[in-house]
Amino acid sequence: MTANVDAATRSLHGTALGDAFGETWFFRPADQMQWLVEERLVPQGPWPWTDDTAMAVSLHRMLREHGQVVQDDLAALDGVPAEWLDAREPFPRQ
Does the residue 38 lie in any domain?
yes
For residue 78, pLDDT beyond 50 = yes
The larger pLDDT score, comparing residue 37 to residue 91, is at: 37
Number of domains in the chain: 1
Q: If pLDDT is split at 50, 70 and 90, which confidence band does 5 have?
A: confident
Does the residue 91 lie in any domain?
no
Query: The domain containing residue 28 runs over which residues?
Result: 5-85
Crossing angle for the helix pair 5-23 and 51-66, to the nearest 10 degrees: 170
Dihedral of CA atoms 12, 18, 24, 29 in degrees, nearest 10, equals -150
Does the residue 92 lie in any domain?
no
Q: Is the pTM of this model over 0.95?
A: no
